[in-house]
Structure 1
Amino acid sequence: MKLVHKDLEKGGSGTVVLVPDEPEDIWHAYNLIMEGDSVKASTVRKVTNETATGSTTSSKVRTILTVSVENIFFDTQACMLRLKGRNMEENQYVKMGAYHTIDLELNRKFTLRKRNWDTIHLDRIELACDASKHAEVAAVVMQEGLAHVCLVTSSMTIVRAKIDAPIPRKRRGDCSQHEKGLTKFYDQIIQALLRHVNFDVVKAILIASPGFVRQQFFDYMYAQAVKTDNKLLFENKGKFLLVHSSSGYKHALKEVLQDPAVLARLVDTKATEEVRTLEAFYKMMKNEQARAFYGPKHVFAACEAEAIEVLLISDKLFRAVTVAERKKVCGFSR
């Protein structure tokens, strides 16, 4: 996500202009946009024209509309966000107050205006615009000729680079072309790691592959680090963890993160913190019911008694329609 412009007023209202540049950004937009907000974006409108003879023709035109959002639909499979609302500004194709549906599109900017910006929303924008500041786990899922460099945050996995390079086959008595192809492939992965991974933030970097590819890449990377005197790689060598995966495709990362050795290594990262906390809550519910509280009434009572050790709040509460409800939850979460 790219932040093009931000203009927030003292009273809490204001606008931000954002450009989603990858599918995960649409998910962030879904968590930012709420009923009652206004969104200005490029959209397609079907226009019907009537000729002098009474016949009609229809065509689709692209125009820019500002709608007051009344309905939000998020397709989790297609990662698509559809906003429905009434037009708020004069437009030659759409009357004031007429309903229209806007589909947020990748690489097309939209302007979001809120009457009251919460700290949760501002934190969400910061996370969306620079995930590297918050991703404590990085991963390279690879096989010969294919690699995905990913950042794993507490809520999602972001593919920062996909390297797809042809690797010539070995020929009898001549492996030079195969070796050159591998070297070029490995160099591209190293550059992607150095470009996209914030080594000051990440606690672990997973190198996953079938067979011996991961070990070969790791050995080559540090052989190159010796030649170029790359201190950054040497200082962070202990963060690398080599694990098995079934392939070099992104979906293989799911099985990697479920590996017991990986879970033990990532025990202190935010990517697994919520899962572990929820499991601890269920265990407490089963064995010590008097210590486990849920529901607004009991949780607020525990808060007043300063008896909360760990607090879990559903994202759904931050999407409450009323500003007062959101303020109460935001203040409570602090």
Structure 2
Amino acid sequence: MKLLSKLIDRDSSGQITLMPEEAEDMWHTYNLVQVKDSLRASTIRKVQLESSTGSVGSNRVRTTLTISVETIDFDAQACMLRVKGTNIQENEYVKMGAYHTIELELNRKFTLAKKQWDSVVLERIEQACDPSHNADLAAVVMQEGLAHICLVTSSMTVLRAKVETTIPRKRKGSCTQHDKALEKFYEAVMQGIIRHINFDVVKCVLVASPGFVKEQFCNYMFDQAVKMDIKLILENRSKFLQVHSSSGHKYALKEVLSDSSVVGRLADTKAAGEVKALDDFYKMLQNEPDRAFYGIKHVEKANEALAVEILLITDELFRSQDIAKRNRYVKLVDSVRDNGGTVRMFSSLHVSGEQLNQLTGVAAILRFPVSELSDQEDESNSDSD
């Protein structure tokens, strides 16, 4: 997604112009557009034209319309978004108040105006527009003296850093210069990883090389992490996966990602964090039920006690046409973060999101047991969700 302009006032009203560039961006757009928003985009309208002789014919014309959104339809298979509403701006082809359906397309910009841009919507735009937020897979493709540090999204690879160092050849009787240069090279690659990989997002880091370069580099990096107490590397050690590549050039990444053994290990990295969080929740519900709550009322009560460690919530709840209901969930998300908790947003298109929706769409793993909920709160959440 490309952010073209952003004009938001102090009262949180305003408009943002975006251009979807890949199929996944249409899913983000579906989660951004809400009923009563104002949407401006280029569209095709069938109009009747009267000729000088009086005969009437119809023609299809391209025009730019601004509509007040009434219905939103997302086709997950075709990744197509249709938005229907009434025209709210003067147009030579469409009367004020007339209905029109706009089909949002890839590589065609649109402007979305809202009376209130809340934190959840703005965060989604930030994630959609920044490759580092989308890229839950990173890769270091290397050979002696050359390394490429990349972020990999579902549809593109973003080169974040290139490390190039001259490595002298080994000479008989002395390898000192070679070893020093190699160590300097490994240090530069390690610093590049620390600087350019967001481990809060990245679930796996492929380290690929011909020969034993990958093993030697990983040994160096983990040894240095222990010596220097580099917690970022130590805490994420399990995310590093060593694989073979034919060279250290960027194009070698394609062969790495198409390797069937690698594909199997990387299956569904995007939702790995969410799947684990849901699995942890079910285990907690079974073993320590006082530390696993679900349903908006129970989770809000736990949050009031500052007990929520991880909030699990589906994006479907934020597509509610009920503004008060949506604001309730936004307030919960903001409050959990303000209290130092972690928020896991689940996609309702993923199996983990479907499972969470069966538990009302909102659940929480607590820092400590909270058992003093009254019997009145122990009612079904169906009426409030």
1:201 equivalent in structure 2: 198
Cross-structure match for 2:80: 80
Work out whether residues 8 and 15 of structure 2, in 8 Å CA contact, stay in contact via their aligned partners in 1. yes
Separation (CA, whole Å) in 2 of partners of 1:255 and 1:4: 40
CA contact (8 A) 2:209 2:244 kept: no
SS at match of 1:66: strand
Q: CA deviation at 1:282?
A: 1.8
Query: Take 2:261 and 2:305, find their aligned partners in 1: how far apart are those partners?
Result: 42
- Is it true that 1:42 corresponds to 2:39 in the alignment? no
One-letter amino acid of the counterpart of residue 10, structure 1: R
Residue 151 of structure 1 is matched in structure 2 by 152
Distance 1:254 1:62 in 2: 46
Task: Report deviation, 1:52.
Answer: 6.0
| Residue 332 of structure 1: how far off its partner (Å) | 1.2
Deviation at 1:40, TM superposition (A): 0.3
Q: 1:45-56 alignment to 2 at 5 Å?
A: 45-51=45-51, 55-56=55-56
Which residues of 2 match residues 16-31 of structure 1 at below 5 A?
A: 16-31=16-31
Report the TM-score when normalising by structure 2.
0.58
* Residue aligned with 2:312, SS: coil
Indicate the RMSD between aligned Cα atoms, in angstroms. Answer: 4.0
**Which residue of structure 2 lines up, in the alignment, with residue 89 of structure 1?**
89
Partner of 2:126: 126
Corresponding residue for 2:279? Answer: 279
> Which residue of structure 2 lines up, in the alignment, with residue 13 of structure 1?
13
Instruction: Give the Cα–Cα distance (whole angstroms) in 2 for the partners of residues 60 and 35 of structure 1.
Output: 27
User: Letter of the aligned partner of 1:151 in structure 2?
Assistant: V
Identify the structure with bigger relative contact order (alpha carbons < 8 Å, sequence gap 6+): 1
Distance 1:19 1:300 in 2: 36
**CA–CA distance in structure 1, aligned partners of residues 275 and 60 of structure 2:** 47
**Are the equivalent residues in 2 in contact too, given 1:244–1:256 (CA < 8 A)?**
no
Residue 77 of structure 1 deviates from its aligned partner by 1.6
User: Quick one: which amino acid aligns to residue 306 of structure 1?
Assistant: L
The 3-state SS of whatever aligns with 2:330 is: helix
Question: Which secondary structure state, in structure 2, belongs to the residue aligned with residue 62 of structure 1?
Answer: strand
Partners of 2:9 and 2:63 lie apart in 1 by 28
Q: 1:25 and 1:307 mapped to 2: Cα distance? A: 35
For this pair of structures, how many residues does the alignment match?
264
Query: Quick one: structure 1 residues 292 and 77, their matched pair in 2 at CA, closer, same or farther if it must change by over 3 Å?
Result: same
Shift in alpha-carbon separation, 1:255–1:86, aligned structure 2, 3 A:
farther
**Corresponding residue of 1:67:** 67
* Segments ≥4 residues shifted beyond 6 Å: 217-220
2:157 maps to a residue whose letter is: R
**Alignment map for 1:92-171 (pairs within 5 Å):** 92-133=92-133, 135-138=135-138, 151-152=152-153, 157-160=154-157
Structure 1 pair 12–290 and aligned structure 2 pair: CA distance change class (3 A): same
Q: 2 CA distance for matches of 1:218 and 1:58?
A: 69
CA contact (8 A) 2:84 2:100 kept: yes
Does the aligned pair in 2 maintain the 1:85–1:100 contact within 8 Å? yes
1:100/1:217 CA distance change after superposition, 3 Å: farther
